[in-house]
C-alpha cells in the first residue's frame, strides 16, 4: 500500500512538472481573454542577446497583460540568408521583427515589406528621444521605417596578460600591429583569431583598412557602387592586408572555423586579440573579460580622421501590421520606458538616446567614448552595400584572407561584381 501511494504521488508530481514545462512558452494566464495578439520574430546572435530580448518582452507582458505575445526564434545566419534569397517575406508570420539598419532596412522599405512608422514617430515625439544619427539610420525618403534599439562599436580586443608577457605596449599604429604580429608569430602563436567561415567577420578587416586609409566618403562611394574597386586606393587596402598576412597576424586554422569557433583560441593563448563588434563580449568568460582591453583599430594614415563602424539594430513592423494598436503599444513601451537601456546593458550594446545614462561595463564605456570622438561612422560592409554585392564580395575577401587569391585577382573579381550589380562602367578615381 505504501509503495502504491508513493507511486501515485510520484505520478502526480511528474504530471504537474510536465504541465509546467508545457506552459513555459504559453501565456502566464492561459484563461485570460486577450484583446490583442502580436508575434515577435527574433534571431539572436548569441546567448546574451537572447537573454536581453526575452527580458524586454517579459517586461512588456507585465505592462500589457491583455495583449498575447508570441515569439518566434530563428538562427541568426540562416534567417539572414533566407531573407536575402527572397525565401522569407516579412509579411509571412510576424508583426514585429528584430532587424538591421542600413541597406538591409532600406531594401525592405523599397520592397514594401515593412510599415511606414512616420506618423507614430510624430505622434509620440520620438525625434526628441533618439539621437539624430539614430533617427537618420531608420529614415529613407523622409519616412521612418523602424525604431532604433541599439548600436555598438567595432575595434580590437586583446588580452593584456599576453601583451605584458611579451613586453608589448598597446596597438596604436599600423607599425605597432605588424610588430606585435611578428612577436606572436615568432613564438608559434598569432595575434589575431578569426573564423573565415563567417565571411562578415572578415569584411570587418576590409572596412577598417579602407576607413583608415581612404576615409569615410570614399568608403561610402565604394559601398554605393560609385567608386571602382580597381583603383589605387583599394589596391592600397589589400597591400596592407597582405602585410598583415605576411607578418603572421592570423591563426593558421582560420579557414576551419566560424567566428564563434575562433574565440576560444584567444582564451587558451593560441591568439591574443580579435577584431569584432562589442556584442561578442557576452560570449566571453568573465575571467577572460577581466583580462581584455579595447582599443580602436590602429591609425594607418595620420591625415585621415577617425571613422568607425557602428552598426545600428532596429525593430521593424510588417506591412500587414501597420497601424495595429497592440504593435504601436509595444513599440511605445520599448522607446519610452527604461527597458531598452536595461536590455542593452545585458547585451553589451549602447542605447541610441539623446539623454545620458549610466554605463556599467568597461567596454560599453570605451565604445561610447570612441563613437563620441569619431568624425563619422559606417554601418558595416554588408549593411552599407546591397546583398547582391555584399555576399560575393565577402566570399572573395575570405579567399584572399585564406591566401587563395592574389591582390590583383581579388580586385579584378570585386570590380566585375561591382559593374554587374550596379550596372555601371569602370570608374577611375585618383
Q: Give the model confidence (pLDDT) of 349-386 as tens digits.
A: 999 998 888 898 999 999 999 999 999 999 999 999 99
Among 370, 338, 336, CA closest to 357: 338
Q: What percent of the chain has pLDDT over 70?
A: 91
Q: Is the pLDDT of residue 425 over 70?
A: no
Q: Which of 181, 176, 183, 297 is nearest to 246 (CA)?
A: 181
Distances (CA, A) of 395 to 102, 207, 221, 373, 389: 20, 15, 21, 32, 10
Separation of alpha carbons 131 and 141, rounded Å: 19
| Cell numbers linked to 262 | 575562433
Report angle CA 239, 256, 260 to the nearest 5 degrees.
95
Strand, helix or coil for residue 404 = coil
Q: Shortest CA distance to 60 belongs to which of 334, 385, 368?
A: 334
The mean predicted confidence, pLDDT, of the chain is 89
pLDDT value at 34 more than 90: no
CB 422 within 8 A of CB 389: yes
By three-state DSSP, how is residue 395 classified?
helix
| Two domains, one topology: 2-151+312-354 and 154-309+372-422 | yes
Q: Which of 142, 140, 129 minimizes the C-alpha distance to 331?
A: 129
Q: How many residues does the chain have?
A: 430
Contact (CB, 8 A) for 118 and 172: no
What is 192-237 written as a DSSP string?
Answer: E---TTSHHHHHHHHHHHHHHHHHHHHHHHHHTT-S-SSSHHHHHH
Q: Is the pLDDT of residue 3 over 50?
A: no
Residue 33: the pLDDT is 62
**Residue 11 clears pLDDT 50, i.e. is over it:** no
Give Cα 163 distance to the centre of its chain.
27
pLDDT digits (tens, 9 = 90+) for 345-354: 988 899 999 8
| Residue 15 pLDDT > 70 | no
pLDDT in tens, 85-133: 888 888 767 999 999 998 889 989 988 999 999 999 999 999 999 998 8
25 has pLDDT over 70? no
Percentage of the chain with pLDDT > 90? Answer: 76
| Gap between the Cα atoms of 346 and 341, Å rounded | 9
Which tops the pLDDT comparison, 77 or 307? Answer: 307
pLDDT classification of 32: cutoffs 50, 70, 90: low
Provide the pLDDT for residue 13: 39
Instruction: Flag whether pLDDT at 12 surpasses 50.
Output: no
> DSSP labels for 225-279?
T-S-SSSHHHHHHHHHHHHHHHTT-B-GGGGG--HHHHTHHHHTTSEEEEEEEGG
**pLDDT mean over 60-66:** 95
Whether residue 386 contacts residue 206, with contact meaning beta carbons closer than 8 Å, is answered with no
Surface-to-core class of residue 383, CB atoms within 10 Å of its CB (0-12 exposed, 13-18 middle, 19+ buried): buried
Dist CA 344 CA 152 (whole Å): 10
Homologous superfamily (CATH) for 154-309+372-422: Periplasmic binding protein-like II (3.40.190.10)
Q: Which residue has the higher pLDDT, 37 or 12?
A: 37
Rounded mean pLDDT, 406-418: 98
Q: What is the pLDDT, as a whole number, of residue 356?
A: 85
179, pLDDT greater than 90: yes
Please tell me the chain's helix, strand, coil percentages from 3-state DSSP, rounded to the nearest 5. 55, 15, 30
The whole-number average pLDDT for the span 264-273 is 96
Q: Is the pLDDT of residue 23 over 90?
A: no
Q: Identify the pLDDT of residue 81.
A: 84
At residue 395, does pLDDT exceed 50?
A: yes
Enter the DSSP assignment of 306: -
The whole-number average pLDDT for the span 257-281 is 96
Cell 515569439 belongs to which residue? 71
Read off the pLDDT of residues 304-352 as tens digits, 9 standing for 90 and up: 999 999 999 999 999 999 999 999 999 999 999 999 999 999 888 999 9
Q: Please give the residue that has the higher pLDDT: either 419 or 424.
A: 419
Q: Is 86 helix (H, G, I), strand (E, B) or coil?
A: coil
Q: How far, in Å, CA of 404 to CA of 178, rounded?
A: 22
As a whole number of Å, the end-to-end CA separation of the chain is 93
Three cell numbers at 29? 494566464
Which pLDDT belongs to residue 18? Answer: 33
Does an H or E element contain 178, and which? Answer: helix 174-185
- What pLDDT is attached to residue 132? 87
- pLDDT at residue 42 is higher than 90: yes
- Average pLDDT score over residue span 231-244: 98
Scanning the structure block, which residue is given the C-alpha cell 512558452?
A: 25
Q: Residue 45: what pLDDT?
A: 87
More confident residue, 211 or 90: 211
Q: Domain ranges in the chain?
A: 2-151+312-354, 154-309+372-422
If DSSP codes are grouped into helix, strand and coil, which group holds residue 151?
Answer: strand
Dihedral class, residue 175 (left if φ above 0, else alpha if ψ from -120 to 50, else beta): alpha
- Sequence-distant (6+) residues with CB within 8 A of 175 are none
Is residue 258 very low, low, confident or very high in pLDDT (cuts 50, 70, 90)? very high
The fold of the 2-151+312-354 domain, in CATH, is D-Maltodextrin-Binding Protein; domain 2 (3.40.190)
Measured CA to CA in angstroms, residue 45 lies from 50, 146, 180, 203, 277 at distances of 8, 20, 30, 17, 12
Amino acid at each position: 500500500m505504501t509503495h502504491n501511494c508513493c507511486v501515485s504521488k510520484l505520478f502526480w508530481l511528474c504530471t504537474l512538472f510536465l504541465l509546467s514545462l508545457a506552459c513555459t512558452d504559453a501565456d502566464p494566464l492561459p484563461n485570460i481573454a486577450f484583446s490583442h495578439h502580436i508575434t515577435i520574430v527574433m534571431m539572436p546572435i548569441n546567448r546574451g542577446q537572447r537573454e536581453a530580448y526575452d527580458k524586454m518582452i517579459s517586461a512588456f507582458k507585465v505592462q500589457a497583460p491583455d495583449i498575447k505575445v508570441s515569439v518566434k526564434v530563428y538562427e541568426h545566419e540562416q534567417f539572414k540568408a533566407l531573407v536575402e534569397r527572397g525565401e522569407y517575406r516579412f509579411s509571412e508570420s510576424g508583426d514585429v521583427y528584430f532587424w538591421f539598419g542600413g541597406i538591409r532596412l532600406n531594401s525592405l522599405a523599397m520592397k514594401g515589406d515593412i510599415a511606414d512608422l512616420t506618423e507614430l514617430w510624430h505622434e509620440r515625439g520620438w525625434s526628441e528621444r533618439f539621437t539624430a544619427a539614430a533617427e537618420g539610420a531608420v529614415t529613407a525618403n523622409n519616412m521612418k521605417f523602424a525604431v532604433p534599439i541599439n548600436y555598438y562599436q567595432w575595434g580590437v580586443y586583446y588580452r593584456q596578460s599576453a601583451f605584458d608577457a611579451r613586453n608589448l605596449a598597446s596597438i596604436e599604429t599600423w607599425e605597432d600591429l605588424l610588430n606585435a604580429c611578428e612577436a606572436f608569430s615568432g613564438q608559434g602563436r598569432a595575434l589575431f583569431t578569426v573564423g573565415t567561415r563567417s565571411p562578415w567577420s572578415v569584411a570587418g578587416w576590409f572596412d577598417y583598412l579602407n576607413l583608415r586609409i581612404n576615409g569615410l566618403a570614399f568608403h561610402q562611394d565604394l559601398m554605393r557602387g560609385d567608386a571602382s574597386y580597381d583603383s589605387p586606393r583599394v589596391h592600397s587596402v589589400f597591400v596592407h592586408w597582405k602585410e598583415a598576412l605576411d607578418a603572421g597576424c592570423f591563426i593558421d586554422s582560420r579557414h576551419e572555423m566560424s567566428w564563434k569557433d575562433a574565440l576560444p583560441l584567444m582564451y587558451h593563448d593560441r591568439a591574443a586579440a580579435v577584431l569584432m563588434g562589442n556584442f561578442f563580449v557576452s560570449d566571453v568568460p568573465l575571467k577572460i573579460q577581466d583580462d581584455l582591453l579595447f582599443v580602436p583599430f590602429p591609425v594607418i594614415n595620420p591625415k585621415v580622421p577617425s571613422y568607425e563602424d557602428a552598426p545600428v539594430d532596429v525593430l521593424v513592423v510588417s506591412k500587414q501590421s501597420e497601424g495595429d494598436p497592440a504593435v504601436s503599444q509595444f513599440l511605445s513601451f520599448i522607446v519610452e520606458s527604461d527597458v531598452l537601456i536595461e536590455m542593452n546593458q545585458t547585451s553589451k550594446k549602447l542605447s541610441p538616446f539623446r539623454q545620458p545614462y549610466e554605463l556599467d561595463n568597461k567596454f560599453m564605456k570605451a565604445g561610447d567614448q570612441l563613437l563620441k570622438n569619431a568624425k563619422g561612422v559606417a554601418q558595416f560592409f554588408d549593411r552599407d552595400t546591397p546583398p547582391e554585392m555584399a555576399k560575393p564580395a565577402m566570399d572573395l575577401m575570405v579567399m584572399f584572407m585564406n591566401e587563395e587569391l592574389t591582390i590583383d585577382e581579388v580586385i579584378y573579381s570585386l570590380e566585375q561584381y561591382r559593374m554587374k550589380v550596379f550596372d555601371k562602367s569602370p570608374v577611375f578615381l585618383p
